[in-house]
Structure 1
Amino acid sequence: MTVAVLGVGVMGEALLAGILQGGRPVAEVLAAEKRPERAAELTERYGVEVVGNAEAVKRADTVLFVVKPYDMGPLLDEVAASARPGQLFVSLAAGITTSFVEARLPGGVAVVRVMPNTPALIGEGMAAVSPGSNAGEEHLREAEDLLRSTGRVTRVPEKHQDAVTAVSGSGPAYVFYVVEAMIEAGVHLGLTRATATELVVQTLAGSAALLRDTGEHPTVLRERVTSPGGTTAAALRRLDDGGVRAAFLGALEAARDRSRALSSGEPV
């Protein structure tokens, strides 16, 4: 079963590396890249054969589209003649529906939609998968097996993919935004930037591990840190006064709405 990765940018390369590290023979993996210098780099780094988009689709059993939403239409037009019934196409383009892909490819192909996130770059990603009209259990399992090489995978109905985009697809940016704010606050309080950064990053990493490994509800863990009348209670009261919870809700609604707009073809 040959796998082709079309779009070997940051996320595409992470998937390529994960697939190979997961044990897929290099002879069964293709990469598609038009720039000669990038093609040579990929071959040197991973040993994979690099070909054009149409040839990759012609030769592969499973094709991963790892491109920006606005590139999907032209890419599908380019490779449609090379596609054939029985192939699996996995789309990682935000906002692009399975029906959009199916309408531009021959009948009989299976399509799975995926929303990944950037922690996939270090094997800690979170991806949600949804089947198209022709995708069965075996297609979902194949997509999941490929994606597990870069982190965790869950299944959701496609109608929830815009919410997934808002929560986990864009989620790392919210976390980095909060980290930036905490570091700046630490500097404002008199810490060096290096010390503030070390404190915040390790606090974030430790808190995330505690949340994941204990399985405790975040409210329970928060309450354990919050002594009545203490420093944490004072800080959380100020966050509540600033409407932080409501701001997060509004932010995720905006991200969901933008994902919907992308799927409807609204310009970027």
Structure 2
Amino acid sequence: MQFRVLLGDITTWHADGIVNSASSSLLGLSGGTDNAIHRAGGISLTSACRALKGCHTGDAKVTFGYKLPAKYVIHAVGPIWVGGKRGEEEELVSCYRKSLLLAEEKKIGYLAFTSISTEDKRYPRQRAAAAVIPVILSEGAYFTRIDMVCTDEAMQDIYTRAAVLFWLRRLNDGHCDGQSSLVDEAMIALVMLRVSADKPDPIALAERVRQMRRVLRPFLDMSQPRSILDMEQAADQVMASYRTLDELQADSNLGDTVPPYYQA
């Protein structure tokens, strides 16, 4: 499964399905992205949502996308943030899990998420990313591709860093017998996080994987177990490397072609 964290407008995303951060009424009342999805989907989308008669927090329901490029819209109702002591994290994780299950039931191969609850319900971005990125990466194996579509660079950096830390923890916890294949998988995953092109050049991909391996060589050479500080410092190095990689991306043709072990 490819996982990417990209900037863009979810209403124009050519995925099989998109996940909307919806209000409990499902009528486009959360503002921002929720309202934009309803406007772009047209009156048929809103009518289909009205027929669903609402949705509980932590749950999700699905409709067709109608005028949207995506065939399906999954309407996930995330929690309103009230300090983190009323089960908000459990409800947030629940609606991501429900969205993945609904997408799998509809045989959606390529799924794109908005950042649920962070823009419309005050959920802190960093806490949201730390809670849900492991869920997507651990439980999204069915999908060919999952994108997190971000509205600004700050959001993109937060979700990217959460994914980087996920892979660094995997490397830290990996068993020695499978370490070589795990490192290869992690290097490709880290490179693909910020690749927006749909048709990658395999040579460009291989070169960027080699660059990522050089960035993480000090971390990889450390004896295990590495400390939390070691992982945070390695994550800083990876995030810094993306600035250089992003500059090169416009001149490359990096996208879908990845080695077999990274396919869904």
Same fold (TM over 0.5): no
Higher relative contact order, structure no. (Cα contacts within 8 Å, ≥ 6 residues apart): 2
The TM-score, its normalising length taken from structure 1, stands at 0.30
TM-score by length of 2: 0.31
Q: Could you say which structure has the higher helix fraction?
A: 1
